[in-house]
Chains A and B, each alone.
Chain A
Amino acid sequence: MKKLINSLVFISLILISTKSFSYNSDPKIFIDELVTDAIKILGDKNISKADKSKKIENIALENVDISALGMYTLGSIRKTLDQNNLERYKDLFEKYFIKSLTSRLTDYSDQKFEVLNADQKSETYTIVSSKIIESSSQPEIKINWRVYTKDSAKPLIRDLIVEGLSLAKTQKEEFSSILNSNNNDINILFFKLEEFINN
């Protein structure tokens, strides 16, 4: 738990703070390049916080499967929503996702990172194992990346499993709790997302 929480900020930043260009299509190299690039940019004192935040949007949109992540976190209720509500949810989720990651930018501190190996689970998924190397201020943190490889030329990140804990699953259960507490009324979730986005 401690390691998980410790790494939330760092991982979020990695996802959102890299340059906007295409990375290698091999999942292992893709993660390695993306994270190396992120660390380089985040450590660059010549880049303002605002500029770093701006890069967030571009990189998240390019390298994270936000649409699929949104559908996953919505859970089974996605099957019962009409097209209008689905589109509205996708729009709100994307804004929520970007803002949530951006707000963590200020919490970043230097980390050393190492990609260990890749395990192809199926035609569509590869799990890339990595770790944040131990430093005086924090222990080693193991991180698995769920990379979606249906389009083999363009891998996309769908989830991070930090010390065995899935961040997407956590988000899904958070949304599920909101829906369950409100008779599965999607408007309540919309309201909460809007509230977060606008505050």
Chain B
Amino acid sequence: MDLKKIIIFASMSILLFSTGLKAETEKECFEKVSRSIFKFNKGFDKAILKPLAIGFNKLPEPIKAGTGNFTSNIGTLLTVPNHILQGQWRLAGESSASFLINSTIGILGFSNPAKKMGLKNQQEDIGQTLGAYGFNAGCYFVLPVLGPTTVRDTIGIVADSFVDPFAHVTIREHELLSMSGSEMDYFSIKGASAIDFRADNMTNLDSLEKNSLDMYAALKSLYLQNREKKISNTFSSKDDDGWDELNK
């Protein structure tokens, strides 16, 4: 790890712990700045991401599905070590098997035969692993282009690049099992993944924007709830969610 990375990691750690482990996750780090970045991201979406997603949606269904499967399969490489770090051995096994089957029988991951075999492949990352270890999310903010995050999840994004074997062979340009790649490969996959996500949610994001009084707050709430759910690996929302108080 070079000095620059250590400084970034240390800064993030200070920010995380300065919020206190019991801090409210809804707390903003710097709301005004985040709202400005959110506006920028909306402009970026309107000018670049959305037009690309519209074009992507016009592609034949097999190409769209294949792209989604391919990027998702590569994402499994990050999922497996995180399952292991969380002691989820069965899920780590299932994800590994899913990756091997899809990469071979599934023709480099463009097809998803593992799913038909009943193998689960949920996405995991270091942010979730830190959450599972009990680290509080820290305050919330918005990153340019990348979107909603928290201090913990931002540390996770940086740490992901050290844990993810795909990042290892691409952005770090190390060889692994005789495979290697380049930064371009890494960012191409991340870009394709973002376009695939945007294309899948075209109507729904438009609808959310149209029906929100404060879209920034709505997305923040959805993001934080989603991360909480992924960390606890539970489907249900909290039993009362404040409703019982209403009946008093």
Binding site for B on A (CB under 8 A): 1-2, 4-6, 8-9, 68, 71-72, 100, 103-104, 107, 121-122, 124-125, 127, 136, 142, 144, 146, 150, 158-159, 161, 163-166, 168-178, 192-193, 196
Q: Are A125 and B207 in contact (CB under 8 A)?
A: no
A contact face: mostly helix, strand, loop, or mixed = helix
Q: Are B237 and A161 in contact (CB under 8 A)?
A: yes
Q: Are B225 and A170 in contact (CB under 8 A)?
A: yes
* Chain A positions within 8 Å of B174 at CB level: none
New contact pairs (6) apart from A107-B203, A174-B221, A176-B217, CB-CB < 8 Å:
A2-B197, A5-B205, A8-B204, A127-B236, A161-B236, A165-B229
* Chain B positions within 8 Å of A104 at CB level: 207, 211
Q: Are A178 and B213 in contact (CB under 8 A)?
A: yes
Distance in angstroms from A90 CB to nearest chain B CB is: 14
Q: Are B239 and A121 in contact (CB under 8 A)?
A: yes
B residues 207-224 with Cβ under 8 Å of A? Answer: 207-208, 210-214, 216-218, 220-223
Binary CB contact string for chain B from 185 to 203 against chain A (1 if under 8 A, 0 otherwise): 0000000000001001101
Q: Are A175 and B204 in contact (CB under 8 A)?
A: no
The answer to whether B134 has its CB under 8 Å from any CB of chain A is no
The answer to whether B173 has its CB under 8 Å from any CB of chain A is no
A-B contacts at CB below 8 angstroms, number = 110
The answer to whether B226 has its CB under 8 Å from any CB of chain A is yes
Q: Are B211 and A164 in contact (CB under 8 A)?
A: no
Q: Are B200 and A2 in contact (CB under 8 A)?
A: yes
Q: Are A5 and B208 in contact (CB under 8 A)?
A: yes
Distance between Cα atoms of A146 and B211 in the complex (Å) = 22
B residues 58-97 with Cβ under 8 Å of A? Answer: 61
Q: Are B237 and A173 in contact (CB under 8 A)?
A: no
Distance in angstroms from B190 CB to nearest chain A CB is: 16
Specify which of B211, B235, B236 is in contact with A103 (CB 8 Å cutoff). Answer: B211
Distance in angstroms from A155 CB to nearest chain B CB is: 14
Question: For residue A136, which residue of chain B has the nearest CB?
Answer: B61
Q: Are B236 and A144 in contact (CB under 8 A)?
A: yes
A-B contact pairs, 19 of them (CB 8 A): A2-B197, A2-B201, A6-B200, A8-B208, A71-B246, A103-B210, A104-B207, A121-B239, A122-B244, A127-B236, A144-B236, A150-B247, A159-B237, A165-B225, A165-B237, A173-B26, A174-B213, A177-B214, A178-B214
